[in-house]
Amino acid sequence: MVFATATVWAAPERLNSGKVLPTNLPFSEAVKVGDILYLSGQIGNLPGKLALAEGGIAGETKQAMENIKTSLEAHDYEVSDLIKCTVFLADIAEWDSFNEVYSTYFEADQFPARSAFGGVDLVINARVEVECTAAK
């Protein structure tokens, strides 16, 4: 017996809450396709500005994670809905400091899948950028 299934694709919705990044940048804060939300990478910028939070990697990681949380909530998602994150670190030696802050945003058994890259140049000399995907 053969079963046929139909796939229904949802049209992408390009979203900008205006709560994290200036809205005049040439990309969407997030794109939603069905129940999947793709977030643009977040750096530790102060909301609405292209100025970094103080405190080096720890301060920037906290702000990047707060920016992710704000963006998720603006589009009716939560941190617990994150399924995959990609981390870009200007210096891989800051991995432990990044993890100390990052891990506080999740329950111990609720971490999303994750990849990380080090030694990359990031916009406005940021120490960290985090790009995530969420699903309901």
- Structural domain boundaries in the chain: 14-135
Maximum distance among all Cα pairs of the chain, rounded to whole angstroms: 63
Q: What pLDDT score does 124 carry?
A: 95
14-135 CATH, one of 3.30.1330.40, 3.40.50.2020, 3.30.420.40, 3.30.565.10: 3.30.1330.40
The pTM of the whole model exceeds 0.85: yes
Which segment of 6-15, 28-37, 102-111, 126-135 scores lowest on mean pLDDT? 6-15
Percent of the chain at pLDDT > 90 equals: 83
Q: Is the pLDDT of residue 24 over 90?
A: no
SS3 category, 53: coil
E strand or H helix that includes residue 38: strand 36-39
Q: What is the mean pLDDT of residues 64-76?
A: 97
The pLDDT assigned to 23 comes to 78
pLDDT at 109 over 60: yes
Give the C-alpha separation, 44 to 28, whole Å.
17
pLDDT, average across residues 22-36: 91
Statement: residue 6 has pLDDT above 60: no
Cβ atoms within 10 Å, residue 8: 5
**Minimal CA–CA distance to 44: which of 75, 79, 69?**
69
